[in-house]
Structures are given as C-alpha cells and as structure tokens.
C-alpha cells in the first residue's frame, strides 16, 4: 500500500507505527482540524494527543455520544441511523465550516481545511 504524502510531511524511514503516523501528521504545519467522531474516535484522537505536537494540529475534539445532542449538532437522519455516509458528510461540512469561520487565514494561509484533507485521502 502506498503511503499518503501531504505537502509539508517530514520523511520517515521504515514502516511507521501508529504513533509515528500520528506524530507525522502532528508535525505537518499544513494540517489542522477537528476530530468529530462516530464511535471509537476517542481512541484515535488520544493517539494524536499522546505523541505530542497536537496543539498545532487539533483545533478541537468532539464526541457526541448522546443521540439527542448529536442530532442537535448535525440534524436527524431520515433513516434514524448515526453511522452513515450522509451523517459523515454532515459532520465534515459542519466542522469545516466552523474552522473556516474561526481560523485566521492571514496567519494560517497554508493550513489545509479538514474537508480538503479528507478528500485527498
């Protein structure tokens, strides 16, 4: 499997561990965003916090376990399901919109928006 390389990624030797992958992203000055999860995302974001450098990568981390709380943020799905492509798209649009409203683009010209990063993966 080919490694995904983003502009600004540091070069790593050998097959990276989970910690190395998280650190690689944390050290990339062009990546910045939000972790908003649907199931098991807290464990993923924890890896980014543990390896260091997360303050330059993570804008916020959100886990909306309560369905009513999640519905209030992202809306109710027609099929009443939570782990769906449509729900993921709503989450990406909502969180990207918030970051784009809050980030100072004069200072952070090169930072990727979360939606651009997900699309590139």
2 falls in which pLDDT band (50, 70, 90)?
A: low
Per-residue pLDDT, 117:
47
- Of the chain, the percentage scoring pLDDT greater than 90 comes to 9
Mean pLDDT of 56-78: 86
> What does pLDDT average to over the chain?
80
Q: How many residues does the chain have?
A: 121
Compute the distance between CA of residue 10 and CA of residue 51 in angstroms, rounded to an integer: 15
Residue 110 pLDDT > 50: yes
Q: C-alpha angle 12/14/16, rounded to 5°?
A: 70
Reading the block at residue 121, the tokens are 């993966």
Q: Which of 121, 100, 96 has its CA nearest to residue 21?
A: 121
Residues 6+ apart with CB under 8 A from 81: 87
Instruction: Tell the CATH topology of 18-120.
Output: Maf protein (3.90.950)
Mean pLDDT of 14-40: 83
Mean pLDDT of 20-42: 82
pTM: 0.67
Distances (CA, A) of 80 to 1, 40, 51, 83, 91: 36, 20, 37, 10, 15
């Amino acid at each position: 499997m080919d490694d995904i390389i983003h502009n600004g990624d540091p070069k790593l030797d050998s097959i990276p561990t989970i910690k190395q992958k998280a650190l690689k992203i944390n050290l990339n000055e062009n990546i910045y965003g939000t972790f908003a999860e649907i199931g098991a995302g807290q464990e993923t974001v924890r890896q980014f916090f543990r390896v260091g450098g997360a303050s330059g990568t993570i804008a916020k981390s959100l886990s909306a376990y309560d369905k009513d709380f999640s519905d209030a943020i992202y809306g109710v799905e027609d099929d009443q399901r939570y782990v769906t492509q449509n729900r993921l798209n709503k989450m990406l649009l909502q969180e990207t919109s918030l970051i784009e409203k809050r980030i100072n683009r004069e200072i952070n010209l090169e930072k990727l928006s979360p939606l651009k990063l997900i699309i590139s993966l």
